[in-house]
Structure 1
């Protein structure tokens, strides 16, 4: 299982696929999600804008990706 660190929650599902390089574009991510090729927490997910939270697990192309909220804080 791979870990994806997110900076805030919630994050839309298609954005994670796009920004983590799992798909080339957001449009491609939306098509794959709509086709039922992505799972969230073990269940097929077809909502492109599904709100993803810390601890959720994405299944995509045979791999599992665990979302983990970043503990890093910025100081200015």
Structure 2
């Protein structure tokens, strides 16, 4: 997924990638511990992602581009 700026927050990225529908859903997905950023479990919605970062969830493998 391509972003316009140098960084994007994880919550925004998940919404733009249509992984979740709303902000409340982002919180629930992150709280479940099923989201990984570059192979590490991430629970912070505000985590800043940069080009090349890889976000994985069950059934999804996304790269920030």
Instruction: Normalising by structure 2, report the TM-score.
Output: 0.89
Q: Report the structure, 1 or 2, having the larger strand content.
A: 1
Q: Which runs of 5+ in 2 are unaligned?
A: none
Q: RMSD over aligned Cα, in angstroms?
A: 1.1
Give the 4+ runs in structure 1 shifted more than 3 A.
none
Find the structure with the greater CA-based Rg.
Answer: 1
**In the aligned structure 2, how far is the partner of 1:34 from the partner of 1:49?**
13
Q: Which runs of 5+ in 1 are unaligned?
A: 69-76
How many residues are aligned here?
65
